[in-house]
Amino acid sequence: MKNYDFCFGCGFSCGVTQALRSANLQFASLPFDWTATPSFPRAARIAAADFAHWLDREDLELIDVRHSGINRRIYFNRRTGFGFVHDFSLFKSPDDAYAEVAAKYERRAERFRKCVEASRKVLAVCVEWPILGRLRDETLDETRRVFETRFPGVAFDLLYFHVAEGAKAAKVESERPGVTVVGCEYRKYFENGELHHEIDNSQILDFLKDNYSAPDPRSEEEKSRYAAEWRRQDRERWHGKGAFDTMVNRSAFRLYRKLERFLARKGLAPQEHAMWFGLENEPR
């Protein structure tokens, strides 16, 4: 079992923080938790720059509006390549929503800095986009150096998951000082086999639970409040008003992907949501 003072996720999606929380490795919200993160190296550079230009208003471009399921405006940051999927409510004006979101991410960025600076050993976890291949070893080494240059005196380890088709369990593919590369199957499919940009956490979660630990800094009262809020959100999402909306949203998504493939065959549009986030140009 490897022990760390602090663990955090670097995307690609919210499934990473969900796995870390379920494995008792993360205990508070952090900047990358609920964003669409374009790449591990880009997340490291943003963190090393203290999240400068992370959420500048003039860089945000509205790319989608969802009225079912999550009721959000989805924004893409043209400068940094990050996508903000869960933050901007449809029920508030863009100005009011932006002010709240900016304040929230400022708190999370400050929490991230304080947690790292108070630690001696930190684990950064990334789950690669399923549509992309594995990062090169030298790219992972450079990513680690970016973190350690920004936070001298803090030892960073990187845990990097990528898709290994058909794997029955997560398996370490390479391990050297500071970097562990793990292959596992974490694609999440709908019933018709259509790939969605969520991830199946089962193999990732088992690997985290079996191999890593971190102390929980919360009081018993804080733990109780957190558990109650998590249960409320989970109940509302799956068993309350969100259940029917989620079903409608998934049906609409499947129809959208069929249209996307048709336009791609006609040469009228690219096929892959990842191109919204500039992933096709990210060095591997």
- β-bridge pairing 60-66 and 2-3: unpaired
Q: How many CB atoms lie within 10 A of CB 21?
A: 18
Contact 37, 109 (CB under 8 A): no
Take residue 40 and report the two structure tokens written for it: 């591990």
Query: Does residue 269 register a pLDDT over 80?
Result: no
Take residue 276 and report the two structure tokens written for it: 């919204």
How confident is the model at residue 239, as a pLDDT? 45
Long-range (24+ apart) CB contacts under 8 A made by 175-181 are 178/141, 178/144, 179/137, 179/140, 179/141, 179/144, 181/134, 181/137, 181/140
Rounded to 5°, angle at Cα 33 from 94 and 10: 125
| Average pLDDT of the chain, as a whole number | 85
Secondary structure element (H or E) that encloses residue 88, with its range: strand 83-89
Mean pLDDT, residues 32-60: 94
Contact 9, 32 (CB under 8 A): yes
From CA 251, how far away is CA 239, in angstroms rounded? 18
From CA 79, how far away is CA 56, in angstroms rounded? 9
Contact 141, 179 (CB under 8 A): yes
Encode pLDDT of 210-263 as tens digits: 999 999 988 888 888 877 877 776 665 544 455 555 566 566 666 766 776 777
From CA 166, how far away is CA 148, in angstroms rounded? 35
Whole-model pTM over 0.85: no
Neighbouring C-alpha atoms within 13 Å toward the C-beta of 120 = 2
From CA 278, how far away is CA 76, in angstroms rounded? 10
From CA 153, how far away is CA 169, in angstroms rounded? 35
Domain total in the chain:
1
Query: Does residue 34 register a pLDDT over 80?
Result: yes
Contact 93, 105 (CB under 8 A): no
Measured in residues, the chain has a length of 284
How confident is the model at residue 39, as a pLDDT? 93
Domain range for 204 is 2-281
Q: Which residues contact 254 (CB under 8 A, 6 or more apart)?
A: 190, 192, 194
Secondary structure element (H or E) that encloses residue 274, with its range: none
SS3 282: coil
Least confident of 89-98, 99-108, 141-150: 89-98
